[in-house]
Amino acid sequence: MCNVLGDEIEKEKVTKTDPMKFVIIIVLVVVGIMSIASPSAVWYLEYGWRYKDAQPSDEAIAMNRFVGIIAIIAAVAILIFA
């Protein structure tokens, strides 16, 4: 009897999915793609609006691309391991 109940509990854990996980994955992928495809636009959304006639440095563009890659890796990791 205990084994039957234990199996049912395990089945619930496996089949139950968390919808918030998919929202986080989608947000990470969108942020990652934006950061890789257009790091200047991301910089303007983060900092550029604060300053008049400001331009992002090469380091800021490289950092935005790096963060985009990390965001996509994190999304894949969540998809696989969580």
Closest listed residue to residue 72, CA positions, set 25, 34, 32: 32
The DSSP 8-state label assigned to residue 49 in this structure reads G
Alpha helices (H) along the chain: 2-15, 19-37, 39-46, 58-81
If DSSP codes are grouped into helix, strand and coil, which group holds residue 1? coil
Residue-wise pLDDT for 12-58, tens only, equals 555 566 889 999 999 999 999 999 999 999 999 999 999 899 999 99
- Tell me the whole-structure pTM to 2 decimals: 0.74
pLDDT score of 15: 54
